[in-house]
Amino acid sequence: MKILVAGNLVLDLLAWPVEKIRWDATVWVERFARGVGGNGANTSYTLARMGAEVSLAGAVGRDAEGDELLAILTTAGVDVSRVRRLKLPTPTTIALVRRNGARAFVHRPGASREALTKIVPMRGFAHFHLANPFAVPALRTLAPGFLRAARRAGATTSMDTGWDSRGEWGQVVLPCLEHLDILFVNEEEARLITGARGTKQALSRLPAKLVVMKRGARGALVDGHPIPAFPVAAIDTTGAGDVFAGAFLAAWTAGESPAEAARFANAAAAMSVCALGSVSGLASLSETRRWMRAHLPSAAPPA
- Specify the pTM: 0.95
pLDDT digits (tens, 9 = 90+) for 60-116: 999 999 999 999 999 999 999 999 999 999 999 999 999 988 899 999 999 999 999
Q: What is the dihedral of CA 109, 114, 115, 118, to 10 degrees?
A: 160
Name residues whose C-beta falls within 8 Å of residue 191's C-beta, 6 or more positions apart in sequence. 197, 198, 199, 202
Domains of the chain: 2-20+30-295 (3.40.1190.20)
pLDDT digits (tens, 9 = 90+) for 181-202: 999 999 999 999 999 999 999 9
pLDDT digits (tens, 9 = 90+) for 30-64: 999 999 999 999 999 999 999 999 999 999 999 99
Judge whether residue 301 has pLDDT over 90: no
DSSP state of 302: P
